[in-house]
Chains A and B, each alone.
Chain A
């Protein structure tokens, strides 16, 4: 009980808001930002930031033969940044390492997630990164990690990007030794490179044309061309498109086009078209089998009613266009459409409280999947306490996938808090039931520490605020739709 009271006392010790009063003109300044804002021109210097995160999970599930399987992974991650921008150009080193073991099974595993040096000249017209890095714009595959070099050159309204390095399996600094790739299993034979042309500095137009090759075991397995476009109109309409072409298999693997509009502050509407067909490494047997594309058309709308209520709804069609397979066999489910529909309501009684109910349905000739979820989030004490509760249930009934038939559900509760600015603690409990794995229980605990030191000439300032670290875990973001993350498919 006493630790709880101490925690509450710490959470309640908020720093004062802007000073009030009467008479005269008051410019309140940056208020409570003044001790942390590192303002341009005033804040250049050398700083060191360190972040430690400990994550422990205990988990238990049933195997397919009804055996109880426990897991108990403990992971420790460290992030470390050194940055020097005293002389207007910037030199920085960033790294993240993690290690851990399953306490039931043992066997320590550790790796360097990224470690790179970045150089940026004055005016930021270029940047060069050397080392292990993760990039999002590598190509159609999303995140790409590699050991190598990447660079960006920004001309007026045009940017040139390139990267090259050994990819994925070529992992130095991997423990244990037997998980490292050798020359025989890929070291030095898995590599990737790519380049891109992109617009830069245009107010509402972004266009990016990218190319990426990926080699595995010395052979070219992927060659992608990507085209990503965005155009904003009148400040209220966004048009976006993403196309990924598999040049080896000569097919458009992904094409997405969407239009979103926010004509007034309380309304969002949009439509989205997606064409997708799976592509595989050319060395994979799966690249030989014929696959069918699917096309989907979706629409969505979100209405905010005052500051209290939000309603969102969406729906769409998923179309398998080919009535016959490439073998000339009639497809049982095709020639017909399947539809998706979702609706949700969220209520914000106060700024720090939110309740939401979401429903989703996928229905078609092959069967249906329906789900409902309820969630609540409370972020009192100016967001320093964060409580999440969520429960959901989904019913599968697909005659084309009878193996998935049944009820799935889950209940989760997480509590996180920042009793002091440089530390965050969190615990999460979750239980999931499915006809497959029966009950899956999970408990997780996280602990974050941040240490920051900034040196400005002879002055040395020690700072430590998790907010400045920009961690996802700290962001008081809106709770998104409970169905975010995966579109069901029929």
Chain B
């Protein structure tokens, strides 16, 4: 069983690496490169080995400045070699029958073509080739002028039959040069720019353009994305702002309207933990004195209200006798394990409750306090916290003062 599992893992990684190393195997984004329909027969390799150059057929590419330009050769170009209008077209070399390129178009004959090789109105219609425009900004001319060879972007097309979406450049290819030095790295250099100067992401009606996670830890399709996006934002906020403005963050973080799928039903009981663990995450948008307290006060969830007659928050033995720790129900265990949950209710002015005991009856410092703390820790904060219990002239503070 273990061996089978190991083999499966190795095979998966190997196939992944194979895809990663073969640029034509990597999946292309359908949002950027929409699916094509290419009902045609063609062999790029054969044409190139016959001595043709890319520009022989794609002459307009060198001057094209928009991906909306149609750069595929038309009948006129093809018929320079493929004499489709010749009476004996099917017997010529190179072959020139309709079916040479348009598979299945057997009813087409040379009589359907004009002397210049254009199909007449009476010509039978082949299946239509559909090449939706790539949803990017691109100038072939700029790249040709910079001396970028065709095959640097259209990797593998020289050995391919048809040129498909898989011979269009991926971001990996583009970023090889677009590094902010050799070529601009600004996202809208290539991506369409929407109103707002940011990347236009609603490229079709069902799926938006989303980062894949290939270049940054920003895989928006990861089901954990809502939870882990903080890490990506911290590492490279500038990349977030390529698509999102400040208001986008506030759509969720302003706390006015919670998404249904965001928190489980016990959120009310546990949000204090998150609130204290990421203090500024909340306070960047919430005003603790009003946003938090309006609920806590009205629902009587404030220190002083517990225990009430109807409800008791902390278990028996929670407080204990000062100086004694009777068992696991004692608050010290909970405090050491997740002190932030205490702070959720007893923080700020609520700290006075702690001081009732810890200012005199129970020393809050561990035995190693003097050794591992010294003056550095609280001296940095000018010892403010020390003065909550100690008098300014307390000799015990001498070390901190130094």
For B12, B223, B226, B278, which residue has the most chain A Cβ atoms within 10 angstroms? B223
Q: Knowing A94-B245, A134-B246 are in contact, say whether A64-B377 is a contact too (CB < 8 A).
A: no
How many inter-chain contacts with C-beta < 8 Å in the A-B complex? 499
State A335–B80 Cα separation when bound (angstroms): 82
Q: Is A408 an interface residue (CB 8 A)?
A: yes
Contact A64 B311 (CB under 8 A): yes
Query: Contact check: which of B127, B284, B309, B342 meets A142 at CB < 8 Å?
Result: B284
Q: Is A373 an interface residue (CB 8 A)?
A: yes
Q: Is A458 an interface residue (CB 8 A)?
A: no
Query: Contact check: which of A64, A278, A328, A408 meets B301 at CB < 8 Å?
Result: A64
Which of B55-63, B157-165, B233-241 lies at the binding interface?
A: B233-241
Contact B384 A403 (CB under 8 A): no
Given contacts A242-B231, A291-B339, A470-B201, 6 further A-B contacts (CB under 8 A): A263-B15, A278-B277, A329-B325, A428-B257, A473-B251, A485-B267
Q: Is B27 an interface residue (CB 8 A)?
A: yes
Contact A22 B125 (CB under 8 A): yes
Q: Knowing A256-B231, A285-B355 are in contact, say whether A144-B179 is a contact too (CB < 8 A).
A: no
Question: Using Cβ atoms and an 8 Å threshold, which residues of chain B touch A31?
Answer: 132
Question: Using Cβ atoms and an 8 Å threshold, which residues of chain B touch A331?
Answer: 333, 336
Subset of 11 A-B contacts with CB under 8 Å: A30-B68, A38-B195, A143-B281, A143-B285, A242-B235, A267-B12, A371-B266, A446-B257, A476-B207, A480-B223, A484-B223
Q: Knowing A300-B224, A390-B261 are in contact, say whether A202-B213 is a contact too (CB < 8 A).
A: no
Q: Is A3 an interface residue (CB 8 A)?
A: no
**Quick one: closest B residue to A282, CB to CB?**
B381
Which of B44-52, B85-93, B363-371 lies at the binding interface?
A: B363-371
Query: Contact check: which of A65, A236, A267 meets B300 at CB < 8 Å?
Result: A65
Query: Contact check: which of A14, A98, A135, A300 meets B237 at CB < 8 Å?
Result: A135
Return A135 CB to nearest CB of chain B, in Å. 7
Q: Is A85 an interface residue (CB 8 A)?
A: yes
With an 8 Å Cβ cutoff, the count of chain A residues facing the other chain is: 201
Q: Is A182 an interface residue (CB 8 A)?
A: no
Q: Is B298 an interface residue (CB 8 A)?
A: yes
Q: Is B197 an interface residue (CB 8 A)?
A: yes
Contact B68 A282 (CB under 8 A): no
**Quick one: closest A residue to B229, CB to CB?**
A136
**Quick one: closest B residue to A334, CB to CB?**
B337
**Quick one: closest A residue to B131, CB to CB?**
A27
State A36–B382 Cα separation when bound (angstroms): 57
Q: Is B13 an interface residue (CB 8 A)?
A: yes
Contact with A along B345-365 (1 / 0, CB 8 A): 001000100110010000011
Contact B343 A286 (CB under 8 A): yes
Question: Using Cβ atoms and an 8 Å threshold, which residues of chain A touch B300?
Answer: 63-65, 67
The 10 closest A-B pairs by CB, nearest first: A263-B16, A410-B265, A201-B180, A282-B381, A326-B366, A143-B284, A141-B280, A23-B125, A332-B328, A472-B251
**Quick one: closest B residue to A152, CB to CB?**
B238
State A136–B20 Cα separation when bound (angstroms): 32
Contact B280 A142 (CB under 8 A): yes
Q: Is B203 an interface residue (CB 8 A)?
A: yes
Contact A49 B195 (CB under 8 A): yes
Question: Using Cβ atoms and an 8 Å threshold, which residues of chain B touch A47?
Answer: 195-196
State A467–B204 Cα separation when bound (angstroms): 11
Question: Using Cβ atoms and an 8 Å threshold, which residues of chain B touch A344?
Answer: 223
Q: Knowing A219-B384, A326-B368 are in contact, say whether A333-B234 is a contact too (CB < 8 A).
A: no
> Binding site of B, secondary structure by majority: helix, strand, loop or mixed?
loop
Contact B262 A484 (CB under 8 A): yes
With an 8 Å Cβ cutoff, the count of chain B residues facing the other chain is: 166
**Quick one: closest B residue to A277, CB to CB?**
B339
Contact A219 B270 (CB under 8 A): no
Q: Find residues 301-353 in chain B having any chain A CB closer than 8 Å to their own CB.
A: 301, 305-306, 308-315, 325, 327-329, 332-340, 342-343, 347, 351
Contact A333 B328 (CB under 8 A): yes
Q: Is B198 an interface residue (CB 8 A)?
A: yes
Return A382 CB to nearest CB of chain B, in Å. 4
Q: Find residues 104-130 in chain B having any chain A CB closer than 8 Å to their own CB.
A: 125-130
Question: Using Cβ atoms and an 8 Å threshold, which residues of chain B touch A289?
Answer: 335-336, 339, 364
Contact A265 B27 (CB under 8 A): yes
Return B282 CB to nearest CB of chain A, in Å. 9
Query: Contact check: which of A265, A284, A463 meets B351 at CB < 8 Å?
Result: A284
**Quick one: closest A residue to B214, CB to CB?**
A235
State A24–B118 Cα separation when bound (angstroms): 11
Return A191 CB to nearest CB of chain B, in Å. 14
Contact B299 A141 (CB under 8 A): no
Query: Contact check: which of A229, A284, A286, A485 meets B263 at CB < 8 Å?
Result: A485
Query: Contact check: which of B260, B284, B310 meets A388 at CB < 8 Å?
Result: B260
Q: Knowing A228-B234, A446-B257 are in contact, say whether A282-B378 is a contact too (CB < 8 A).
A: yes
Contact A96 B200 (CB under 8 A): no
Q: Knowing A143-B249, A325-B336, A383-B206 are in contact, say whether A434-B309 is a contact too (CB < 8 A).
A: no
Q: Is A189 an interface residue (CB 8 A)?
A: no
Question: Using Cβ atoms and an 8 Å threshold, which residues of chain B touch A203?
Answer: 172, 175-176, 179, 215
Question: Using Cβ atoms and an 8 Å threshold, which residues of chain B touch A194?
Answer: none
Contact B196 A49 (CB under 8 A): yes
Q: Find residues 188-205 in chain A having any chain B CB closer than 8 Å to their own CB.
A: 198, 200-204
Query: Contact check: which of B68, B135, B299 meets A27 at CB < 8 Å?
Result: B68
Query: Contact check: which of A134, A394, A446 meets B264 at CB < 8 Å?
Result: A394
State A105–B265 Cα separation when bound (angstroms): 27
Q: Knowing A96-B250, A328-B367, A468-B195 are in contact, say whether A137-B269 is a contact too (CB < 8 A).
A: no
Contact B332 A325 (CB under 8 A): yes
**Quick one: closest A residue to B313, CB to CB?**
A403
Return B301 CB to nearest CB of chain A, in Å. 6
Contact B193 A40 (CB under 8 A): yes
Contact B216 A230 (CB under 8 A): yes
Q: Is A5 an interface residue (CB 8 A)?
A: no
State A430–B268 Cα separation when bound (angstroms): 13
Contact B196 A392 (CB under 8 A): no
State A90–B336 Cα separation when bound (angstroms): 51
Return B389 CB to nearest CB of chain A, in Å. 8
Question: Using Cβ atoms and an 8 Å threshold, which residues of chain B touch A228?
Answer: 231, 234-235
Question: Using Cβ atoms and an 8 Å threshold, which residues of chain B touch A162?
Answer: none
Contact B127 A22 (CB under 8 A): yes
Return B170 CB to nearest CB of chain A, in Å. 9
Q: Knowing A143-B253, A198-B236, A206-B216 are in contact, say whether A65-B310 is a contact too (CB < 8 A).
A: yes
**Quick one: closest A residue to B264, CB to CB?**
A392
Q: Is B385 an interface residue (CB 8 A)?
A: yes
Question: Using Cβ atoms and an 8 Å threshold, which residues of chain A touch B337?
Answer: 291-292, 294, 320, 333
State A248–B400 Cα separation when bound (angstroms): 13
Question: Using Cβ atoms and an 8 Å threshold, which residues of chain A touch B34?
Answer: 28
Query: Contact check: which of A157, A333, A371 meets B333 at CB < 8 Å?
Result: A333
Q: Is A295 an interface residue (CB 8 A)?
A: no
Contact A69 B351 (CB under 8 A): no
State A331–B289 Cα separation when bound (angstroms): 36
Query: Contact check: which of A55, A382, A400, A481 meets B328 at CB < 8 Å?
Result: A400
Q: Find residues 7-22 in chain A having any chain B CB closer than 8 Å to their own CB.
A: 14, 18, 21-22
State A327–B94 Cα separation when bound (angstroms): 91
Q: Is A401 an interface residue (CB 8 A)?
A: yes
Return B359 CB to nearest CB of chain A, in Å. 9
Contact A136 B234 (CB under 8 A): yes
Q: Is A440 an interface residue (CB 8 A)?
A: yes
Contact B128 A24 (CB under 8 A): yes
State A136–B340 Cα separation when bound (angstroms): 22
Q: Knowing A134-B284, A136-B237, A284-B343 are in contact, say whether A236-B20 is a contact too (CB < 8 A).
A: yes
